[in-house]
Structure 1
């Protein structure tokens, strides 16, 4: 048998289990399968956390029936939310507004005595822009009664006050339609607002698109 024929016969010979090329091929296949399994497993690392069924206003108490459970991939920020597996702590209220279907962040919840803003009803006679809805901010201006001119020059009382709720008022025959806003007011600003209301001040609100006090 010539050398060429011998080499061709060796090439066509069925490889045995001891053939290093076969072993290397098997190892490569196993490594590839392991990589795919690891990739799929890491992509499916989800955490079940709470989300709001409907918008939750500041001061509103939290209850399981007002929440839904969703599975999400949070990665490094997982600790910022409440996992369903740990349950929801008791006596929690919303310290910040949580929008409908939004995840429930820990920083937005706390105990009632941690609230630094309280909702106060403000009646506004003028029309409001359509952007002035719950969760947005407005500047509240007041004009106190003046014996000589009817009302004094308006002054800014609350800057960037968050709206908690908007309730359209009833319209009497020949009367201007009013709107009642629930605005969140800090304790330091509360006396000035209550004083203005007690003295029948004229109150107006201006939408604050920047959202800053």
Structure 2
């Protein structure tokens, strides 16, 4: 006996639905469009990242603190890349070799980008280096790039003046004189807030053993006469650091 069959020809109790076939995806499929959009966004972001990296510019950077008057050589600077804002003309670009004969016109701090306005020729400097010997060593806080005041005081004992004996004093047959001490001139400031160019510490080893301490300062031309006269006259010149000026 054969089993019961439905009216459609299949086994009884089972519906004979047509088999579903895989359909080729359509360009209007939302999932396909979303995938394409993600790919496009990834490509655009990648291009922007690469383009942004190419916008950095190579510039010269000070290796250490460079006081005014320092020769701008390859040893004094390094090269780094930065994204410059506000134009590239403000800084010394490293796309070419350093021009010869350049000196620093004002102090450039360590790690600072070298501004074009801070360099120039040696002839354009308005200061001159003067070495001040220090018998008591270099004061704390004095370093290249910092500021100091110079004070001068005369050396030697106080001088006296000869004066005649007071009127009415009995005559002894000899002229009587007295000694009156004149007040000794006090210290005076001969230069204010001058920049330190170089510091030489006392002592040392080898060929530098026994050297005296000294500070080389950059004195404006209009103050050179006073400073040099104090040094040439044997006056005691003291170097006092300006608080807060150390680089």
TM-score between both structures, scaled by the size of structure 2: 0.66
Unmatched segments (≥5 aa) in structure 1: 1-8, 172-176
Larger radius of gyration: 2
Q: C-alpha distance in 2, partners of 1:132/1:98?
A: 17
Q: C-alpha distance in 2, partners of 1:199/1:28?
A: 83
Q: Which residue of 2 aligns with 1:139?
A: 149
Determine helix, strand or coil for the equivalent of 2:150. strand
Structure 1: 4+ residue segments shifted above 6 A: none
Figure out how many residues of one structure are paired with residues of the other and give that number: 199
Residue 187 (1) aligns with residue 221 (2): yes
RMSD over aligned Cα, in angstroms?
A: 3.3
Cα shift at 1:85: 1.4
Q: C-alpha distance in 1, partners of 2:146/2:87?
A: 26
Q: Which residue of 1 aligns with 2:83?
A: 73
Residue 205 (1) aligns with residue 239 (2): yes
Q: Which residue of 2 aligns with 1:103?
A: 113
Closer/same/farther in 2, CA of residues 193 and 42 from structure 1, 3 Å limit:
same
Determine helix, strand or coil for the equivalent of 2:145. coil
Q: Which residue of 1 aligns with 2:192?
A: 159
Match of 1:87 among 97, 100, 105: 97
TM-score between both structures, scaled by the size of structure 1: 0.75
Does the Cα contact within 8 Å between 1:143 and 1:151 map onto a contact in 2? no
Does the Cα contact within 8 Å between 1:126 and 1:204 map onto a contact in 2? no
Q: Which residue of 1 aligns with 2:163?
A: none
Q: Which residue of 2 aligns with 1:5?
A: none
Does the Cα contact within 8 Å between 1:98 and 1:104 map onto a contact in 2? yes
Determine helix, strand or coil for the equivalent of 1:131. coil
Q: C-alpha distance in 2, partners of 1:33/1:111?
A: 50
Alignment of 1:6-85 (within 5 A): 14-19=24-29, 22-23=32-33, 25-43=35-53, 45-53=55-63, 55-76=65-86, 78-85=88-95
Determine helix, strand or coil for the equivalent of 1:79. coil
Q: C-alpha distance in 2, partners of 1:210/1:52?
A: 21
Q: C-alpha distance in 2, partners of 1:63/1:204?
A: 33
Determine helix, strand or coil for the equivalent of 1:30. helix
Cα shift at 1:84: 1.6
Does the Cα contact within 8 Å between 2:65 and 2:108 map onto a contact in 1? yes
Does the Cα contact within 8 Å between 1:125 and 1:204 map onto a contact in 2? no
